[in-house]
Each structure stands twice: as structure tokens, then as C-alpha cells.
Amino acid sequence: MIRRMFLAAVCLASAGAEGPQLTTIQDLLYKADGTPFNGTLTISWSSFQSPDNSNIVTQSITVKVIAGILRVQLVPSPTSPASYYTVVYNSDGRVQFQETWLVPSSAQPLRVSALRVTPVTLAPTTGGGQITTGPITESQVTGLLADLTARPLEGPAFATGRVAFINTLGSIDGVSGNLSDCLHVDGSSGACGSGATSTSFMDGDSPSGIVNGSNTTFTLSQTPSPSTSVALYRNGIVQKAGQDYTLSGSTVAFVAASVPQAGDTLLAYYRVAGTSSGTSVSYPAPQVLCSGTGAATTGVSMASIGACTIPAGLLLAGDRVEIHFNLAHTGTASAFTFEVVWGATPILNRTGATSDAMVTGRLEAAILASGSQLSSQSWGTVLPFTASLAPSTDAYSSGIAINFQGMLAQTGDTLTLADYTVVRIP
């Protein structure tokens, strides 16, 4: 028995005499001024188990560097969990700097540049555990893996530049579809407004129609939905449906006893259904106040060839009135002059040549708090293009007239107002 124990001890001693595998670090160290580094390197480490399962205890060694020559052998550092060497450089009687080495297994000598790593320092544990330096793995951070598992993951339909949607597995997908589509709560996309009816409001809508004491029919800009939402005011007094007027679609018909008189103001407030595209109408639409063909003249003095009267109370500050017209000149014996007048203010006055068979014009009145700002553009077959801009002090609250006038330089030709349109844009 004693002999067997002795033999076992000898075998263990022989195995331990071989020692762990070592990696040689060999290099020439210089200062920044190019002179060789002279001093010592203090290399320290915490206890770890080497890749060949040798148990390495906490300790440190001091290595002399003369004329820049460094040569030292160290046990390779494990990588999981990682363990590192702390190297302190001493020269000229003081500590110069410190760095961290990760020593791999190598049969060939390694230079210092192959060992340096950027240290990551963790605070000591409350139980007195040692500080760990160097890169750390996810598993070394308490709770990190659980937190990563709990976070939402990218789903198979994930895409940048799209609206995010949580699928049935809890992953994040990107919603596909056209960029103009709307997103539904189930993650599908489609044209906005599909499957639902949006509602908007019409405030201060001025029904179109001549207010002259005899006209009984007026038209709203939109069709009320529901029809019972209409609140119609005449001079600020609400009118009662069925007693003062009847409503059919967007047409308002006043009864004989409640016909609006010249100078009255009509305003309507109501709800409308959104369009099929989901776009709601928040303001009244443009209204065609006048349109049609005009008259002709063969005279040599200025005469009216067309007119449009905008009733009282229809125009409001901020409105815009657009006027389009076309003239036809037949004959080649005479030049002609035409004019468009806003109230008492001429907007446009020009003279066409005998060869001007056609003339067209685009005019605009911007309704201000007081008066208007008038602009015009006109041109003809040979009549050059011109534009003008002028103010007008004509009051519009009591109504205003637009007159088209024309005359020939001499008899024999005909000047005709081929067509005209007057549009109010609120």
C-alpha cells in the first residue's frame, strides 16, 4: 500500500513538472522620441483556468526591459469567461501607463500589438468579488438575456420607411401598401375612408341664386347629410324647414311668404358626408354666379354687350371672383374697343385691330375688408398680351354689377360677346 501511494505521488509530480502551455511575448519597445524603452513591466492577473485546464492563481511578475528588449512567457488567457493580464509600465522611477493584454495560445512568439485590448471595467460586487476588465459577454450581464428575450423582434415583413405593426407572434412587421393608403387597426391598409363615412361641416355657406324679391330657388354648395342638420339664416334670423322653405338635395325653395328680398343675406350651416376617398370638404365649393353668351354691337359708341349682377350679402372679405370672357370680331373694316367694368371701376380697356378675329380675357377681383383689388390679363389674334393691377373702392355689401362693353371704330363690322363666366371662390 505504501509503495502504491509513493508511485502515485511520483506520477502526479511528474505530470505537474511539465507545467501549463506558455505563449512567448517578444518585442522591441520604444519611446515616442525613438529611443529604446528602459524600465520594468509589472504584469498581474486574477485566478483563472487556462485552456489546458491548469489552475492559475492570482499573482504578478516584474519583467525587466533593457534597451527596449522585452521577452516574457505567459499562460494563454481563457476567453469564456474571459480573463486578462494587467500590464503597468514603469520607467524613470515612476509609473508611465497601463494597458490590458489578452494572450492567445501560439507556438510562435507574439508582439505586444497582438495582445492589447480595450478594457471594460465593472464595479466590484457587493459580495467582495473581484473587478473584471476587458470585453464582457452577454451572459456575464445580469438580466441581459431575459431583457433581450422580452424585447420585440423583427418579423418576416419588417421593412424600413413603413408603418410598424405588431403581428400575432409579437414581432414587428412593416405594413405594405401605397404610401397614400390609410392603416387599419388589424394591420391591413387600403384607400382612406373605405368602409367608413367621414363627416365634415359647412360653415357660412352662401346659397347661390339672385336675391331680388321674386326668385324663390337657391342652391347650396353641397348636399346636406343629414338634411335635418341644415340651419338656414336670413338676415341673421333662423328659417324653419317646412314653414319658411323646403329642402330637396342641395336645392332650397322658399315659400311665397318668406321669399328673400333685395339686400337680404342668406347663410347656411350644415353637415356633409365625406367623399368615398375619405377627403372631407371643410369649406363651400366655388359657385358659378353667371355664365352664358352675350350680345353683339355694330355701333360706334360704347354699349353694353353683357352683364352680371352679384346680389347683396353674397361676397365676403377673403372671397375671390374670377371673370372669363371671349369676344368675336367679324369683318375687317374696323378696329374696336372693349371694356370690363367692376361697379364703377374699369378693370380692363383695350383696342383691337381690324385683324383681331378673337380676343380673350381673364380677370380677378380679390374681395378685401373694404373694396377690392382688381387684376386682368388679355390678348387677341394679334393683340399682344398685357396684364394690369388696380384697386377699387366700390362697395360690394349691397351688391355689385359687372358690365362688358364694346364699340367699333366705324360701321360695317360686328363685335360679339361670345361667352362669359363669373365664379365666386370663397
pLDDT digits over 126-136, tens only?
444 445 555 67
pLDDT, greater one: 83 or 286:
83
In a domain, 131, yes or no: no
In a domain, 155, yes or no: no
Q: Across-strand partners of 75?
A: none
β-strand partners of 351: 337
Distance CA 379, CA 359 (A): 6
Q: Is residue 263 part of a domain?
A: yes
Instruction: Among 67, 87, 117, give the residue marking a domain's end.
Output: 117
Picking from 273, 298, 319, the residue at the C-terminal end of a domain is 273
- Give the mean model confidence (pLDDT) for residues 122-143: 59
Same domain, 236 and 300: no
The residue with greater pLDDT, 215 or 175, is 215
Q: Report percent pLDDT > 70 for the chain.
A: 85
* 32 Cβ neighbours under 8 A, 6+ residues apart: none
Distance CA 285, CA 288 (A): 10
Last-in-domain residue among 117, 146, 162: 117
100 and 58 fall within a common domain: yes
At 14 the pLDDT is 52
Residues 264 and 388 placed together within one structural domain of the fold: no
pLDDT tens, residue by residue, 303-355: 999 999 998 877 888 889 999 999 999 999 999 999 999 999 999 999 999 99
In a domain, 220, yes or no: yes
Contact 380, 354 (CB under 8 A): no
Q: How many domains does the chain have?
A: 3
Q: Is residue 349 part of a domain?
A: yes
191, part of any domain: no
Same domain? 305 vs 407: yes
**Same-domain pairing of 245 and 364:** no
Tens digit of pLDDT for each residue in 264-282? 889 999 888 754 444 444 4
Whether 310 and 341 map to the same domain: the answer is yes
Q: Does residue 375 sit in the same domain as residue 397?
A: yes
**Is 347 part of a structural domain of the chain?**
yes
Residues 140-149 have a mean pLDDT of: 79
376 and 341 within one domain: yes
Q: What is the mean pLDDT of residues 166-184?
A: 77
pLDDT tens-digit map of 97-110? 899 999 999 999 99
Query: Quick one: 263 and 376 in the same domain?
Result: no
Domain with 206, as residue range(s), is 199-273
Residues 344 and 310 in one domain: yes
- The answer as to whether 334 is a domain residue is yes
